[in-house]
Structure 1
Amino acid sequence: MLAIFIQTLPFFLLIGLGYGAGRTKFFSEEATAYLTKFVFYFALSAMLFKFSANLSISEIFDWRFVMAYFWGTAFVYGIVTLVALMRRLPAEEAAFEAQCGVIGNVGFLGVPMLTLLMGPEAIGPVMLVLAVDLIFFGSLIVIIITGSRDGRMSLGILRSVGIGLLKNPMIVSIVLGLTWSALSIPIPTVMNDFLSLLGGAATPGALFAIGASLATKSAERPIVAGWLSVNKLVLHPAFVAFSALILFPVEPYAAAVMIATASLPVAGNVYILAQHYGVAPQRVSASILISTAVAVVTVSLVIGWANGLY
């Protein structure tokens, strides 16, 4: 476990560096926003395209894997939603608390960190987890919010969800990469070097951006945020492990990557959505801050345990 902690520490130190830059105002909110945009639309997209262009759908797609992660995640989503409704929260707030309980920082933290810690073969399972998060649970939050405000379901909601997925650069880069791979087109040397150079900026840029964005967040309502963090850091990987090892047995290495991915702290894009819809942004902000701070320890413990599965 100590060896894993030492391996994960540089990633969290980069987050800490970004946090320090943000807290001291050396890195302004505007600078953080532009760095995040650069990583999201360019560096991370280049990394994901290059990874997926060297894979095939048959290599990474596994229905059993998808079912294991989906149901493990759905269990926790249901628990958090039920607790929120028992506290008499509106459906919109319950939906955002559920998102905090299951949606981890897979794109900015999981992709760079797990491919380095668990080997490049981890990219396939990590991308599957990312796809399930974006396509199923990312769509679900939009459907719940829009449906509860309109008082009904409509084709317009589904159209908005579809357009949102098509505009997501992570989905687009993965699909384009897999299409490139399916067509068996070799990547030209110049293009490969370009993607390597640009994609190389994803890891430090993403981690620094996470830290700098955390500097503007506050730990208001820490009890609720703590409860949501426990769900994300403990219950989510635990239920995913149960689902992947018992309900829908998955190949050990893939199961280990899935469980490690489920242990990641709350994703920053949940806060962006909360701000956009004006639903509990402070609560989401606090959940991201607390879960990221505690994840320095919990992620190492989960990865160390998961590595023993294969």
Structure 2
Amino acid sequence: MSLIPVVLFIALGYGAGRMGWVKAASVRDLSNIVFLILTPALLFHTMSTVRVQELNLQTIAVYFSAAGLLFVTTLLLQGFTTLGAARALANCFSNNIMIGVPLVGMVFGQEGLVTLFTIVSVHALILMTSATIVFELAVMHQQQGAQGGARSYRGMAITVVRALKNGIIHPIPLPIICGLLFAQTGLKMPEVIDTSLQMLAQALGPIALMLVGITLFFSAVGRYWLPASRIAVVKLLLHPVLLLAIGWMWGLRGLPLVVLATAASLPVGANVFLFTQRYEVGREEVTASIAVSTSLALVTIPLILLGLAQLLQTA
């Protein structure tokens, strides 16, 4: 099953930490390599092939309506802080690449992959860019709260503009925007650059997951079992149920709806962990939630697929 390599990579990272091959002081440097080099390479390469006019807007609207509703609701319940933003992102950010692509390909074939790739092509653009702006606003909100100063409308406007600027000139949104703009030119990427980007992009998944395992070893995860389990339950069960409800109300039926629900039922993606490293908040909790949700998904995903198979037959 496609979940096995994910568990294996996390276990390899944990083993590397346990054996002393990676020191705690090196975790930050490894995180910078993933966040500042490998992730931008994957994002630019992915977006450089996206043609806006070819996207299925209905499936995009359904998927990101569910994710957005879950994100905003979590943020309202948790409070407008970087920790609240980390939990909100974990609740709605699926591991669509390492788990989703092989799983959907195996269960639903090429037709299912077409629907999934529509989501994957703008997944980072929508969720990661939005999350970056929310994180930047939350940082400034917390700083202003700590200073105890009154906030005027002008001051709030300046804060929003500054957050938007920081959210765009950033290792995640900037390569997304540049890649999307390049795609619209119709130009062909030089082979040497395209090959280099592909190699960097392919390295992201395994290294990011091993980094999760390394952090898992250096973190007191046992203390975070309960909040990690809450995130896992929301991600694995509430997210797909919410998506099914929204998709059904919007008139989406058949295989596209089933594939979207499958994507929503996937465990927490490793990119959420990169945000916690970048903003130094909730690292242990999110690390634990990735491990817990991936382990529980070995049970929940087969059950959800059985239910979705029945839905597909009756649709």
The question of a shared fold, defined as TM-score above 0.5 by the shorter chain, is answered with yes
* CA deviation profile, 1:136-176 (whole Å, cap 9, x unmatched): 34433543564466364702321232133223333222222
- Report the count of equivalent residues: 293
Q: Could you say which residue in structure 2 is the equivalent of 1:95?
A: 84
Q: Could you say which residue in structure 1 is the equivalent of 2:183?
A: 181
Q: Could you say which residue in structure 1 is the equivalent of 2:108?
A: none
Query: 2:10–2:210: 8 Å Cα contact kept in structure 1?
Result: yes
Q: Could you say which residue in structure 2 is the equivalent of 1:87?
A: none
Note the C-alpha offset of 1:113. Answer: 3.6
Point out where structure 1 has 5 or more consecutive residues left out of the alignment. 1-5, 85-89
Q: Could you say which residue in structure 1 is the equivalent of 2:110?
A: none
> More displaced, 243-252 or 48-57?
243-252
Query: 2:47–2:180: 8 Å Cα contact kept in structure 1?
Result: yes
Note the C-alpha offset of 1:195. Answer: 2.0
Note the C-alpha offset of 1:56. Answer: 0.8
Query: 1:19–1:214: 8 Å Cα contact kept in structure 2?
Result: yes
Letter in 1 for 2:96: G
Q: 2:30 aligns with which of 25, 31, 35?
A: 35
Letter in 2 for 1:69: Y
Confirm or deny that 1:124 pairs with 2:124. Answer: no
Q: Could you say which residue in structure 2 is the equivalent of 1:242?
A: 245
**CA gap 1:154/1:83 in 2 versus in 1, 3 angstroms:** closer
Confirm or deny that 1:272 pairs with 2:272. Answer: no
Note the C-alpha offset of 1:133. Answer: 1.9
Note the C-alpha offset of 1:185. Answer: 0.8
Letter in 2 for 1:42: I
In 1, Cα distance between the equivalents of 2:158 and 2:179?
29
Letter in 2 for 1:237: P
Letter in 2 for 1:150: Q
> More displaced, 242-251 or 164-173?
242-251
Note the C-alpha offset of 1:125. Answer: 0.8
Note the C-alpha offset of 1:268. Answer: 0.9
Note the C-alpha offset of 1:226. Answer: 2.2
Query: 1:96–1:274: 8 Å Cα contact kept in structure 2?
Result: no
Q: Could you say which residue in structure 2 is the equivalent of 1:225?
A: 228
Note the C-alpha offset of 1:114. Answer: 2.8
**CA gap 1:26/1:252 in 2 versus in 1, 3 angstroms:** same
In 2, Cα distance between the equivalents of 1:18 and 1:77?
29
**TM-score normalised to structure 1 length:** 0.75
In 2, Cα distance between the equivalents of 1:242 and 1:257?
12
Note the C-alpha offset of 1:288. Answer: 4.3
In 2, Cα distance between the equivalents of 1:67 and 1:177?
22
Q: 2:216 aligns with which of 214, 217, 227?
A: 214
Q: Could you say which residue in structure 2 is the equivalent of 1:23?
A: 18
* CA deviation profile, 1:196-237 (whole Å, cap 9, x unmatched): 222222232222222222222323153343223211221122
Letter in 2 for 1:95: G
5 Å-filtered alignment, 1:79-228, equals: 80=74, 92=81, 95-96=84-85, 98-99=87-88, 102-104=91-93, 106=94, 109-118=95-104, 121=114, 122-144=116-138, 146-147=140-141, 150=144, 152=151, 154-217=156-219, 218-228=221-231
Note the C-alpha offset of 1:13. Answer: 0.9
Point out where structure 2 has 5 or more consecutive residues left out of the alignment. 106-112, 146-150
Q: Could you say which residue in structure 2 is the equivalent of 1:10?
A: 5
Q: 1:48 aligns with which of 22, 32, 43?
A: 43
Note the C-alpha offset of 1:26. Answer: 2.1
> More displaced, 231-240 or 260-269?
260-269
Query: 1:46–1:195: 8 Å Cα contact kept in structure 2?
Result: yes
**TM-score normalised to structure 2 length:** 0.74
